[in-house]
Structure formats: C-alpha cells, structure tokens
Structure 1
Amino acid sequence: MNYDKLNPFFQNLEVDYLYHLGFDSGQNLEQMFGDVEYVILTRSFNNADTIANEFTKKFYSIRDTDVRCKTIGKRERYHIHKIHNSLIVSHGIGVPSLLICLNEVVKLLWHAKVKSPKFFRVGPSGGLGVNPGQIVVGTEAVTNTLEAQFESIEFGQLHHYPTQFCHALTQDFINAINKNETASIVTGKIIGGMGYYNGQARLNGAMPLSYTPEEQQQYLHKAYNQGVRSFDMEATGFAGFCNQLEISCCEINAVLVDRFLTDEIYISKQEQILHFKKAANLVIDYVINH
C-alpha cells in the first residue's frame, strides 16, 4: 500500500470515526490491528462467518468441534473478524457497499501502521464455460462493456482506474495450490456487473429486456472469446480501488452456475456452501502457509 497516495485530510482529523465498521482513531488501533498482513473480503455476513470459523479450525488444528467466531466492531452493516494476522470482512452487495467498506478498512490499517497488506476477495459467481464447483482466479476485472477499467463518478466527473489483479500475488497463490486441486482451477477475466439481472445479461429479472435470448448468447460468447470466465458485482470496484493505492489484490470466484446453460442457480444450497468453502479454504491455506 502506497501511503503517499492516501488522502491527507483524514490523517489530520482529531478523531477519525470509522462509522460503518464501528471503530475510531481514539482507540489503540495499532495494538488491535498492527499485525494484520492479510485482508480477506467476501460478500455476505454468512460467508465472512464461514471463513472465520474455517480459518480458526485450521489455524488451531481444531477437529470434531463446532467453532463459532464472534464478530468485532459493528454488526449491522458488515461482519468483521480478526484471526491471527488476518482481517476477515463482509463487504455487502455491490460496488457502493464494497467501496464504503474498503475505504474504512484502509483507514483502519493506516491508523494501525500496517504497511503492506495483501487483499483477497472470495465469493460465489456465475461462470462462463465453467462448471459449478470449479474456481475462477481472476486475471483482471472488466466492465459490462468488457473494458478493463473501473468507472467512478467523483464530484460530478467521470474517472477511470485500471482493474488488473496483482500478477505476482495471483501467480503465487496459484503455485501454492495443492496439485490435487489444480484441475478445478480456471484463470480468466471477471465481469463486474452493474446488478444481478439485466446488469449480467440475465433473462429472468423484473425489468423489460433491451436484448433477446439470442442476443444474450451472442454477448456471453463474445465475453468468453475475450477471456471472461465469471461474473460478479464487485470485481471492477475491488481491483480499481486497490490499484489506486497500490494494494496487492487477488480475486477468487466459486462458480455456482454456467451461464451458457441457464441463468438460474439450480444446485442445492448445501452444494453452494460446499463450493464456497472449497474456494475459501484455498485462501485460508495460502495465508496460513505463508
């Protein structure tokens, strides 16, 4: 993380209130979070809790015992856990919620004097030519129009930021994966859709469509031919934010449906949980082993 690129205004506040996380700079944040090396982000409360529980069991070699980790900070907007040298945070649905979370997490780390954190984001996704249960490791995030940029409107002006994921971290992560798991790993671009339905070219939303089923398939195949292997709703915001501050970042998607075949997630809830845990455990193993 490049401290020189951080906004100087928050650094000079008498008290910096991290309102959505439930912390402030009047607390001894360095003592609480100064050893953080990894930030693991995911979308939902349940997924953050799952990662924290799985991390704890692996790190402390707990077997045959149910683990339920308590959250810290506020609970109503995000779920936050700290396990060893890792901060595990749910960021909510969509880029706006994600950016609120990322802003306050970065400010928290600055107050804690953390200099070189690595950010992982892991979550469920739709795949393109990728089967449920496979895992997509992102190379870069692209918009709905397949451009590798994050579009941000600031003070009424449109800005664009690059959206490549950190090649060195991504490659190191892939190299660290157990050979037994590599067959289920796919690398490729991730579309950060503006919404879940029309924003991801689905046919099953409430709003009228500006495209036909045939045009949908043409679009999906165009995206595939340009290297896209999964859809989510936060990839461009995640990569764009991290690149602005030179934060090493990597995104991992657990695929729940192949969008070439259907828009509907047809696998059971239990299968969805298993697929997410598989992706999450790859990140946990990487963090613990490093």
Structure 2
Amino acid sequence: MENENRNAQKGMQLPNPHLAQMTDDNLYHFGISRTSHDLPALFGDVKFVCIGGSARRMENFAHYIGNELGVVSENERLPNLAGNSDRFVLYKAGPVLSANHGIGVPSMSVALHELLKMLYYAGSRDVTFIRIGTCGGIGKSFSHAMYGTCVSTGVPPGSVIVSNAAVNGKMEHAFETVVLAKGIHRPIIVDQELASEISSCSRTEDPFKIILGKTYCTDDFYEGQARTHGAVCDISEEDELQFVKHLNSQGVKNIEMESAGFFALCHKAGVKCSVVCVTFIDRLSTEDVTADADVLSEWTQRPQVLVARFIKKRLVISV
C-alpha cells in the first residue's frame, strides 16, 4: 500500500483530499478494490480509457484495438476484469482500457468516478479518456423560412461526429448536478486540440463523413429529445420539428445523453477527454432507427476505427 501511495502521488491527481486518507476503496460497480487487486501492476501503464454505453460494443472494441496494436491475437479472448460485478465490464488491451458506462449521465458518472480513482491509485500518468458512442444526427437538407430556401448541413446517418462543443438540455455550456440538496453548475470544457487531432485521423477513402460539431446532451431519450412516441407526450409533431430545426440553426450536429457530464467531470478531474459518436438517424427526418442490424453494426465500428487510428498515432509519436 505504501508503494501504491507513492505511485499515486507521481501520477494522476484528483481534486478530492479524502482519497489520500483512505487505506482501502471499494470500486463496487467494477468489483475491484485497492486491497483485492494490485492496481499499479494492473493499470499503471494505461494511457487511454475508452468508454461507451454497451457492454458488448466495448468488449468488441477491446479486442479490435488489441489486434490493431498487436497485443491481442486474433482468436484470443480478453478477460473481463470487472467479472466480480454485473454492472459494468472492463477489458485491458496493452495501454488501453475499455469499459461500458450504461445509458445517460447518472450511470456514466458512476463508471467515470470509479475509473478515475482506479487510475489514480494505480499511479497512471497522462491518460486520455474517450467516449465512443452512438447518437442522433441533425443535418439533412430541409426548407426553413429563416434561410429562405433549401439548407443542407450534411450529416447523413452513419457520419462520425467528434464533439468540439457540448450543451445541456437547456442549451447551456454547463452541466447541472445536485450536491447537498443544492444545484451546482460545472463548465463543459472541450479540448479543441484533442478533438481536432482525432478528427484529423480521417482518410480520403473512408466511406463516411467525419465532422467536428456541437453536441446537444439530454437527460432522456424520449421527451428530453423532443420525441413524440414515448409513453407520455405533451408536444406536437410540429413542436418537435421546429425544435430540431432550432438545434440545427444553433450549430448542433448530434444529440446524445452523456457528453455534458463526461466533459464537465473530466475537466474537474484534470484529465483530457473527447467524445466520438456515429449517427444512427437524421432527426430532421425521423424519430426511429430504421437501418437493419448489419448496417448498424458496420456504422458502430466507424468511431472505433477513427479512435484506433488516433491511439496508434499517439503511441508511435510517444516512442
């Protein structure tokens, strides 16, 4: 434990003075603790943490990035390091951790708190966090009185959006949470250099668009995203269309449910992060995901390909 504390002081620092006084810490939702696992040995070399909603998707990404880095053979199956828990999964492929975070900021924040502490106790240094996800896009051609004629913002389904800004459900650049029954606001800060570096990993032969854009983050999939086909609804289809057009006019390229909390918490913790998502639908056309399973599977791999290129580039540069 003494050696672990020394490593932690050299590596990642977290803005919580209570952690230095703890002799053990049970990272319950991953089934890992400081006393049950040798965290410096397991995670001290981690440089990238990639998280996404789906457990299966992040397992697949772990094997994909492991193959790309040459640290996992094609038929090798990585162990789930969070096997003592049924909440999240955790895989390690060389210097890359891959974990799921569930849906929405509340679930994501639980995973992110514990991953940050895991790497703090491990003494990890210069770690970059990347959320790899799916989202709804905004950007098909449409007529709008404000612009007079047809407007095309070019975000077809299957596009990859790298967030260069994010706003909450009120269109504010702040994440709202409650501590001690009081509302607090934390700024949503996006690392522009990191976002640009990831988006620059595109290639001319890519069969999809890679776009830097603003992300609208909501607390709900149905009402919060102006969908009219949830279990309850108090808005009209015209309300929905006008709202999505308004988002478009404000430069929003996609809608998802984690970016505001992710950017704000990572900034508060002092770690670099980015959000890379593939669009499944165009919200100016439909509320529903209509592409078949094979198409969605291929689209899901697109942000993984881009992130893998970025990681490989960074590792080559650092050698």
Question: Please, what TM-score do these two structures have when normalized by structure 1?
Answer: 0.94
Aligned-partner residue type, residue 202 of structure 1: R
Checking the alignment, whether the CA contact within 8 Å between 1:52 and 1:81 is kept in structure 2 is: yes
State the 1:115 CA deviation: 2.8
Aligned counterparts of 2:87 and 2:244: Cα–Cα separation in 1: 33
Aligned counterparts of 1:137 and 1:5: Cα–Cα separation in 2: 26
Q: Does 1:22 align with 2:34?
A: no
Question: Please, what TM-score do these two structures have when normalized by structure 2?
Answer: 0.85
Matching residue of 2:16: 7
Q: Percent identity?
A: 26
Aligned-partner residue type, residue 186 of structure 1: I
Aligned-partner residue type, residue 233 of structure 2: P
Q: Which runs of 5+ in 1 are unaligned?
A: none
Q: Does 1 or 2 have the higher relative contact order (CA < 8 Å, sep 6+)?
A: 1
- SS of alignment partner, residue 95 of structure 1: helix
State the 1:67 CA deviation: 5.1
Aligned counterparts of 1:61 and 1:115: Cα–Cα separation in 2: 20
Aligned-partner residue type, residue 65 of structure 2: F
Q: Does 1:215 align with 2:225?
A: no
Matching residue of 1:150: 175
Q: Which runs of 5+ in 2 are unaligned?
A: 1-9, 140-154, 315-319
Write the deviation string for residues 237-283 of structure 1: whole angstroms up to 9, x where unpaired.
11111111221111011100000000000001111111011111110
For the structure 1 residues 182 and 2, does the alpha-carbon distance in structure 2 shift closer, same or farther, using more than 3 Å as the test? Answer: farther
Please identify, of 270-279 and 182-191, the stretch whose mean Cα deviation from structure 2 is larger: 182-191
- Matches for 1:231-270 after TM superposition, within 5 Å: 231-270=255-294
Checking the alignment, whether the CA contact within 8 Å between 1:57 and 1:67 is kept in structure 2 is: no
Higher Rg: 2
Write the deviation string for residues 91-149 of structure 1: whole angstroms up to 9, x where unpaired.
11111111110110010011011132101101111100121111111012211221111
Checking the alignment, whether the CA contact within 8 Å between 2:160 and 2:208 is kept in structure 1 is: no
State the 1:11 CA deviation: 2.4
Paired residues, what number? 288
Q: CA RMSD in A?
A: 2.0
- Matches for 1:106-145 after TM superposition, within 5 Å: 106-129=116-139, 130-145=155-170
- Matches for 1:140-179 after TM superposition, within 5 Å: 140-179=165-204
State the 1:24 CA deviation: 1.1
